[in-house]
Amino acid sequence: MTWAVRRAIPAVLLGGLASLFVPGCSSRVETPVADADSTLVYAPKQADGVTATITLCRKVGSKTGKRFGVGRVFTLGEKAKVRALIDLENPFALGERDLMFHLVWLGPNDREFYTKRIDYTPSDSSATLKSTISIPPDRRDPGDYALQVYLFRELIAEKRFRLRAAAETAS
- Indicate which CATH number applies to the domain containing 37: 2.60.40.1930
User: Is 166 a member of any domain?
Assistant: yes
Supply φ then ψ for residue 25, to 5 degrees: -105, 45
Report d(CA 27, CA 50) in Å as an integer: 10
Is residue 126 in a domain?
A: yes
CA 47 to chain centre: 21
- Asked if residue 69 belongs to a domain, the reply is yes
- Could you list the residue range(s) of the whole structural domain that residue 115 is in? 25-170
Residue type, position 171, single letter: S
What tens-digit pLDDT sequence spans the chain (171 residues)? 554 545 545 444 444 433 333 334 567 888 888 888 888 989 888 878 899 999 999 999 999 999 999 999 999 999 999 999 999 998 888 788 899 999 999 999 999 999 999 999 988 889 999 999 999 999 999 999 999 999 999 999 999 999 999 877 655
- Residue 6 lies inside a defined structural domain of this protein: no
Q: What whole-number distance in Å separates Cα of residue 171 and Cα of residue 22?
A: 53
Beta partners for 84?
A: 56, 131
Structural domains of the chain, count: 1
Question: Domain for residue 7, yes or no?
Answer: no
Using CA atoms, how far apart are residues 94 and 156, in angstroms rounded to an integer? 14
| 11 falls within a domain | no
In a domain, 132, yes or no: yes
Other CB atoms within a 10 A radius of the CB of residue 131 amount to 20
